[in-house]
Amino acid sequence: MSKIRDQLVWNRLLAIVEEQAQTLMRTAFSAVVREAGDLSAGVFDTKGAMLAQAVTGTPGHVNAMAASVGKFLARYPLVDLAPGDVLLTNDPWDGTGHLNDFTVVTPVFRNERPVALFAATSHIADVGGRGFGPDGGEVFEEGLRVPIMKLFDKGELDDSLMRLVVANVRDPVVAEGDLYSLTACNRNGGAQLLKAMRDFDLDQLDDVGQWIIDTSRSAMRDEIRGLPDGVYRREMAVDGYDEPVEVSCSLTIAGDRIDIDFAGSSGLSAFGINVPSNYTEAYASFGVRCVLGNDIPNNAGSLEPINVRAPAGSILNAEPPAAVSARHALGQMLPDVVLGCLDQAIPGVAPAEGASCIWNPVLRNLATAGGNFTNAPFVINPIFNGGTGARATKDGLSTTAFPSGVRTTPTEVNEVTAPLIIQRREYRPGSGGAGKYRGGLGQTIEIAHAEGAPFVISKMFERIRHPARGRRGGDSGAPGRVYIKGGEELRGKGQDVVPRGATLVMETPGGGGTGSVGERDLAAKARDEEAGLL
């Protein structure tokens, strides 16, 4: 029975973290968590190794959080923790890469002994400072930074910490609510785990945890061993803030391990698009995991054979006090370059490059609008997506987040939340890169203020100057654009004012195509024409 029991425990852990994520999503206050799923949840063994993670959630959080729990344990060794303790941080280097992400870690005790930890991360819309955006020069400008601390001590809320948090953010209700919701989802996970341990008559999780990690690691190693050894390189230039950023990747397959090295990539940016190494590791390893052993659950074992390095001081291994608020803009591009390497080792698996970076403008009122406008204060952070790259044997997905796991927010919800009118939001014909398989389409979004008042946009967009490249003869996707309708082009990064009466237009990038357009199936071409997609 014990052989099947171990498997049943594993299944149970996967179910528990899924529930944990659902609880977080349903109770969250931040729109981006509750509507978009910008969160992660997982269970860890007593050494801080991840045993299971929710598939609900987004890879940047998940894989970064996987490393984060060890840092919590370094600060608060398990022997010093007690039932009812809840730990918290939003430190970019100890958590998931920028101040907006709060990670909460909760130890679970059975018969007075610690048996596991639950961790959850969610994106809180505002953490003070300049607000979410890439314009800061140092992390100190980007908002409140909470080192790893106890939020609850033996069940008692640290009121000083909570008051400090709510005093430093623009939307204290959301911040406070989300810290409670993170705490609640971990507590629910812990209760479920204790019940599972009773059901399976387990005093500790270490043995079955080790088996889960060993089994996953060895399956992942088998997978890698099947690939040809070698060093595969890929370069990719992206827009950056004020100047292009070079991402240089060499992926080495040696026996049963993969080493990814970003040596040769650009140095630090003066602005907040720098990426801490935990976030670089998260997205680089996701690039591998979405094609290699993607049926092996994500945990410390399946991640272990993949090693990611970026030189100290490079834009992909930014150290404090670098500004990192918009680290996702570059981080989400990393799977494209990793897949570009893997395509050489395993032909016919990797998709073409896609829009990759989500387009999530922060839109808010201008503090002094002038005129006779009501100028009601508002701030929203809607998510729009471009097209994914064409797959090896299929078209790309239009207006779909990849690699990010987030969802978009409905137009009607955005318009209820902010005095804006989204005049247009539909496919952008012709934006998918041509090829045997076409890249996914981007979209065109037009937004005006309901009263014609001026408003502010903070941008963290990519692929305006450097479109998604096709693969194996496929064309590039259309580059993105952001401009004032009938007026000037705007930069892809940073803050601008949309003048009174004007309409803001965003055109998200299309994905690259795969294979030569001459080989495209005629029926597929006819379907695209009939639908007006070309």
Tokens representing 73 are 């344990």
Q: Which is nearer to other proteins, 212 or 253 (CB)?
A: 212
Helix, strand, coil tally for the chain in percent (to 5): 30, 25, 45
Q: Which is nearer to other proteins, 102 or 427 (CB)?
A: 427
Among 82, 376, 450, 524, binds other proteins (CB under 8 A): 450
Q: Which is nearer to other proteins, 323 or 447 (CB)?
A: 447
* Surface-to-core class of residue 157, CB atoms within 10 Å of its CB (0-12 exposed, 13-18 middle, 19+ buried): middle
Question: Looking only at residues 96 through 125 of this chain, which bind other proteins when binding is defined by CB under 8 A?
Answer: none
The stretch near other proteins (CB under 8 A) out of 260-268, 272-280, 415-423, 496-504 is: 415-423
Min separation Cβ 226 and other proteins, Å: 11
Show the 3-state SS of 250-271. Answer: EEEEECCEEEEECCCCCECCCC
Min separation Cβ 466 and other proteins, Å: 22
Interface with other proteins (CB under 8 A), residue total 83
| Distance, C-alpha 268 to centroid of its chain | 21
Q: How many CB atoms lie within 10 A of CB 412?
A: 9
Question: Looking only at residues 290 through 329 of this chain, which bind other proteins when binding is defined by CB under 8 A?
Answer: 290-291, 294-296, 298
Contacts with 494 (C-beta within 8 Å, 6 or more apart), sequence order: 133, 134, 135, 241, 271, 458, 459
Question: Looking only at residues 24 through 43 of this chain, which bind other proteins when binding is defined by CB under 8 A?
Answer: 25-29, 31, 33-35, 37
Min separation Cβ 414 and other proteins, Å: 9
Among 283, 427, 455, 461, binds other proteins (CB under 8 A): 427
Of the candidates 58, 90, 85, the residue with the CA atom closest to the CA atom of residue 71? 90
Tell whether the torsion through CA atoms of 311, 315, 320 and 321 is positive or negative: positive
Residue pair 44/51 in contact by the 8 Å Cβ criterion: yes
Among 72, 232, 402, 455, binds other proteins (CB under 8 A): 402
262 binding other proteins? (CB under 8 A): no
Min separation Cβ 464 and other proteins, Å: 19
Contacts with 130 (C-beta within 8 Å, 6 or more apart), sequence order: 136, 141, 142, 143, 325
Parallel/antiparallel/unpaired status of strands 306-309 and 257-261: parallel
Min separation Cβ 433 and other proteins, Å: 17
Question: Looking only at residues 361 through 400 of this chain, which bind other proteins when binding is defined by CB under 8 A?
Answer: 383-385, 391, 393-394, 397-400
Residue 36's identity, in one-letter code, is: A
Q: Which is nearer to other proteins, 49 or 291 (CB)?
A: 291
Tokens representing 76 are 């608060």
Of the candidates 480, 479, 457, the residue with the CA atom closest to the CA atom of residue 469? 479
Among 76, 109, 180, 483, binds other proteins (CB under 8 A): 180
Q: Which is nearer to other proteins, 89 or 409 (CB)?
A: 409
Among 18, 126, 135, 507, binds other proteins (CB under 8 A): 18
Q: Which is nearer to other proteins, 329 or 397 (CB)?
A: 397
Angle between helices 59-75 and 277-289 in degrees, nearest 10: 130
Min separation Cβ 140 and other proteins, Å: 28
Question: Looking only at residues 184 through 203 of this chain, which bind other proteins when binding is defined by CB under 8 A?
Answer: 184, 187-188, 192, 199
Min separation Cβ 22 and other proteins, Å: 6
474 binding other proteins? (CB under 8 A): no
Residue pair 421/383 in contact by the 8 Å Cβ criterion: no
Residue pair 121/110 in contact by the 8 Å Cβ criterion: no
Min separation Cβ 469 and other proteins, Å: 17
423 binding other proteins? (CB under 8 A): yes
Q: Which is nearer to other proteins, 148 or 406 (CB)?
A: 406
Residue pair 41/53 in contact by the 8 Å Cβ criterion: yes
Among 351, 474, 492, 494, binds other proteins (CB under 8 A): 351
248 binding other proteins? (CB under 8 A): no
Among 161, 346, 533, 534, binds other proteins (CB under 8 A): 533
Question: Looking only at residues 217 through 246 of this chain, which bind other proteins when binding is defined by CB under 8 A?
Answer: 219, 222
162 binding other proteins? (CB under 8 A): no
Parallel/antiparallel/unpaired status of strands 503-507 and 443-449: antiparallel
Among 149, 346, 421, 534, binds other proteins (CB under 8 A): 421
Residue pair 506/423 in contact by the 8 Å Cβ criterion: no
